[in-house]
Every structure is written in C-alpha cells, then in structure tokens.
C-alpha cells in the first residue's frame, strides 16, 4: 500500500515549508516556501554557515572599508533570503517563495520597491522570474502592491491570509497564489473557545475549503496553497487542494503513514457550493476584517512575529560580521 505523501502528490502540488535545504532534498517537493522565521532558523544552523558567511563577505566587499558592521549586516540581510532561495532552486523543479520585509506590510510603494530588488537579484544570478513568487502579507496595501507587480509579470504569493475577504481581494487583484494559514486559524479558535477540533470540524480546514470552492465556482485563476499545518489530519482533509506547503516533520509523518487517501477538494464539486459572489472594495475589506476577530488578530500577530524574526536575524548577522572581521 502506498504512503500518504506519494498519494497526495498525485492530486496536489506538494511544497516544502522550510529553509532547511537537506529536508528539501529528502522529500523532493515540487516547490518550496520560506518566511523570515524559517530563514532566521536556517541561518543559525552550522550546516548553512557557509551560505551566511559568503553573503556577509560579499556585502563587506561591496560596502567598502568605511562601512560599519551594522551597515554590512543590513546590506547582507537584503540578500540572504535570495541566497537561500538560489540554493533551493538547485533542488526543486518548480518555484521558491521569497518574502518581502514584513515591516513593509502596510506600505504598497516600499513593498513594490523591495519586490523589484528581489527579482533583480535572482535575474542577475541567471534565474528567471517565472521561478520566483514574491511573498507579501495579505493587508489591503500588500494586495494592492501585488496587483501592480502581477501586471509587471512578477508573480506573488499572498501570505498571512485568514479570511474570505482577504482571499476575494487577492483573486480580484489577479495574484498568482494565496497561502491561507490553516494551523494558525485552529490555534485562535482553540484558545478562544477552549475546544479541540478534528477533521472537517477544524476551522482552518473549513476556511480553506470555503476559499477553494469560491475560487473554483467563480472561475478565478488564483490558486490556493494551504499552509501552517498542525497535524496530518488537516492535510488529509485538504487533499486535492491546488497546493499544500508542509513542514518537514509532517512530510516525514505522511511518508511513513500507509493508507488510502481520499480526494476531499475537487473543482467538480465547487459549483454546488451555495456561497454567493461578493464584491470586496477597500471599505468592504476593512469592514469585514474588523468584524472577523480571528483574521484581525492573526494578521497583526503574524506581521509582528515575522518582524521580530527579521530584527533577530539582523542582530545575528551584525554579530557574525564582527566575528569574521572581514576586511574590505
């Protein structure tokens, strides 16, 4: 009998949710995603010290002898996620998601500027923009930035997505892909209600199912990539979703679990979904976001968490510059 991971790959594009290159090599996903927390964690691993050091030494050479350690670290910081992305693209046949600084989540212009810089770094390394997804938080400003980037042929992955209003705004903006956060939705409801949820009762599973059927029913091209899983039960319930990005620990569990995997999400079933089409302009988006306590809380918490991870990474890089003592 086949394991669940092999069966899942037959109906869903499996994506590795990791900055750990060795895990990506092991599970052979089609694509890979990273985020600030994952990059910060990978940067601390001895196995990847050479990647970090190479980026720092290159930044030192470009900055010159007059640059302080902090200035060198800041320059390297802008290149580190791309450095990991380039390594990952040597392994996966598809795409890698590289995230814009979470601290720019409410600034469309600066988000676009940094997205251009990320794409330029990849293209300077000979990597086509077709293999890159620019990862942006699903604020109204982030969605508007992604809308402009998509018009320029720069594909986007809208992350930290927790509500249907965010998903509809992304689809109307014609973004390439969205990442609704299944596990973080579950976390919020467990804390808010004191209850546990399993299978189809999982609020995160229900949210992604609703978004998937809405997209397929109304013919949107934007694809859905479920993310942030807490257990393989959530993954089983979303089998058939366009893509699922899964952490190495859960990939391992899927690979070592045998059984029959039933397809739960299918475009053929979406037409029967009773949901009506909604128009989501900025005023509607803000109203729905304010009314959805879970989405409001988790978007704010997610941006703050990623921002903290970036600040920690900047400190780590500054410390490493001083340890290396690299001359210009």
- Angle between helix axes 140-151 and 108-124 (nearest 10 degrees) is 40
Angle, alpha carbons 180-146-103 (nearest 5°): 75
The CA distance from 95 to 105, in Å, is 23
Supply the pLDDT for residue 64: 87
Q: How many DSSP H helices and E strands does the chain contain?
A: 15, 8
Supply the pLDDT for residue 281: 98
Nearest to 150 by CA among 128, 130, 120, 126: 130
The two tokens of residue 75 are 């320059």
- Angle between helix axes 69-89 and 293-324 (nearest 10 degrees) is 110
- Concerning whether 26 is annotated as a catalytic residue, the answer is no
Supply the pLDDT for residue 170: 98
User: How many other C-beta atoms can be found within 10 angstroms of the C-beta atom of residue 308?
Assistant: 15
Catalytic residue selected from 28, 78, 135, 300 = 135
pLDDT in tens, the chain (328 residues): 799 999 999 999 999 999 899 999 999 999 999 888 888 888 899 999 999 999 999 998 988 888 898 889 888 888 999 999 999 999 999 999 999 999 999 999 999 999 999 999 999 999 999 999 999 999 999 999 999 999 999 999 999 999 999 999 999 999 999 999 999 999 999 999 999 999 999 999 999 999 999 999 999 999 999 999 999 999 999 999 999 999 999 999 999 999 999 999 999 999 899 999 999 999 999 999 999 999 999 999 999 999 999 999 999 999 999 888 754 4
Nearest to 314 by CA among 79, 46, 112: 79
User: pTM of the predicted model, to two decimals?
Assistant: 0.94
Enter the DSSP assignment of 239. T
The two tokens of residue 1 are 């009998």
- Write the CATH number of the domain with boundaries 4-324: 3.20.20.70
Write out 85-141 in H/E/C secondary structure.
HHHHHCCCCCCEEEECCHHHCCCHHHHHHHHHHHHHHHHHCCCCHHHEEEEEECCHH
Q: What pLDDT digit, counting tens, does each position of 13-63 carry? A: 999 999 899 999 999 999 999 888 888 888 899 999 999 999 999 998 988
Supply the pLDDT for residue 325: 76
């Amino acid at each position: 009998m086949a394991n669940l991971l092999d069966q899942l790959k037959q109906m869903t594009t499996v994506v590795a949710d990791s900055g750990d290159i060795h895990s990506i090599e092991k599970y052979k996903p089609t694509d890979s995603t990273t985020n600030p927390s994952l990059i910060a964690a990978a940067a601390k691993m001895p196995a990847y010290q050479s990647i970090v050091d190479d980026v720092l030494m290159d930044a030192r050479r470009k900055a010159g002898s007059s640059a302080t350690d902090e200035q060198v670290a800041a320059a390297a910081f802008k290149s580190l996620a791309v450095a990991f992305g380039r390594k990952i693209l040597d392994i996966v046949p598809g795409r890698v998601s590289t995230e814009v600084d979470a601290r720019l989540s409410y600034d469309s212009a600066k988000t676009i500027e940094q997205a251009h810089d990320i794409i330029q770094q990849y293209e300077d390394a000979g990597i086509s923009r077709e293999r890159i997804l620019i990862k942006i938080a699903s604020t109204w400003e982030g969605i508007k930035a992604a809308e402009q980037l998509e018009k320029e042929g720069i594909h986007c992955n809208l992350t930290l997505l927790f509500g249907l209003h965010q998903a509809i705004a992304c689809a109307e903006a014609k973004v390439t892909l969205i990442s609704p956060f299944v596990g973080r939705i579950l976390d919020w409801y467990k804390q808010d209600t004191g209850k546990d949820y399993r299978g189809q009762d999982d609020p995160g599973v229900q949210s992604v199912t609703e978004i998937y059927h809405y997209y397929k029913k109304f013919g949107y091209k934007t694809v859905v990539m479920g993310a942030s899983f807490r257990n393989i039960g959530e993954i089983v319930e979303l089998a058939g979703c366009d893509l699922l990005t899964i952490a190495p620990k859960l990939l391992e569990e899927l690979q070592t679990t045998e059984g029959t995997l039933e397809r739960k999400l299918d475009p053929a079933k979406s037409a029967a979904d009773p949901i009506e089409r909604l128009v989501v302009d900025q005023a509607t988006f803000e109203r729905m976001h304010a009314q959805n306590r879970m989405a409001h809380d988790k978007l704010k918490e997610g941006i703050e968490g990623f921002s903290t991870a970036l600040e920690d990474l900047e400190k780590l890089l500054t410390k490493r510059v001083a340890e290396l003592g690299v001359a210009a």
